[in-house]
Amino acid sequence: MIVCVGNTKGGVGKTTLAVNLAIARALTGRDVWLIDGDRQGTAQTAISIRAEGGHSPGIACSQYSDGPTLRAQVQQQGRKFDDIIIDAGGRDSTALRAALVLADVLVVPFQPRSYDVWALADIAGLVDEARSVRDGLRAFAVLNCADPGESSADNLEAAAAVADVPQFKYLATPLRRRKAYANAAGSGLSVLEAKPVDRKAVDELQALVNALF
């Protein structure tokens, strides 16, 4: 399955989510290809740190921030992998547009803040465009850096706001703001592997993986 983690808004957790999803799938024995579609190359850096640390499973990772190259490479090489996770950079880039034409699923992380909710309308326009040239793109919005607690007013409001953007289905498997995500990423690890184990982070990531795949 090809999953694009994308949002035209920056800093919403795309790379964090993409790296965690890629590793989570690899831990179940799938051959995973993580594509860093962002010129910043943050996902690529995380995977390099992982490789240097000798952590297994290893993750195949490539960086293509140019849309036509990304598309051509996935078309040529994609069949070798069970899952392809594309981290598409934080703006309306050619890489993001290419990824939307290739992906089975778009996951849009957003934070429970007004600017993030408004930005959903922006990426919804790109979803419409992609759907006009292809069939079957499923698009999900998922809360990242959600506030603690089940009933935070901001979380509930943000979730409800997704109903106003018909291009997206809201995935009720939020990731909360937890140090474990940032700490794990710094070592090229997912929260599923990082020590000490943050049980809540593990459970919520697993719930998201189960919902997506």
Q: Which residues bind Mg ion (CB under 5 A)?
A: 14-15, 42
The yes or no reply on residue 145 touching ligand ATP (CB under 6 A) is yes
Residue 13 interaction partner, one of Mg ion, ligand ATP, none, beta carbon < 5-8 Å per kind: ligand ATP
Scored b (16 or more CB within 10 A) or e, 1-37 reads ebbbbbbbbeebbbbbbbbbbbbbbbeeeeebbbbbb
CA distance 33 to 82: 8
Residue at 151: amino acid letter: S
Nearer Cβ to Mg ion (11/68) = 11
CB of 184 to ligand ATP, least distance (A): 9
Give dist(CA 171, CA 185) in Å, integer: 23
15-34 residues in contact with ligand ATP (CB under 6 A) are 15-16
Residues with Cβ within 8 Å of 55's Cβ and at least 6 positions away in sequence, in order, are 187, 188, 189, 193
Collapsed DSSP state (helix, strand, coil) of residue 206: helix
User: Of all helices (H) and strands (E), which one includes residue 47?
Assistant: helix 42-52
Q: Which stretch binds ligand ATP (CB under 6 A): 112-120, 124-132, 175-183, 190-198?
A: 175-183
Query: What are the Cα distances from residue 106, in Å, to 1, 96, 122, 163, 198?
Result: 11, 10, 14, 17, 27
Interface characters, 105-144, with ligand ATP (x: CB under 6 A): ---------------------------------------x
Name beta bridge partners: 171.
142
58 is a site residue for ligand ATP (CB under 6 A): no
Which x/- pattern, by CB under 6 A, does the window 72-111 give for ligand ATP? ------------------x---------------------
Cβ 91 to ligand ATP shortest distance, Å: 8
- Please give the residue ranges that form the binding site for ligand ATP (CB under 6 A): 10-16, 38, 40, 42, 90, 144-145, 175, 177-178, 181-182, 185
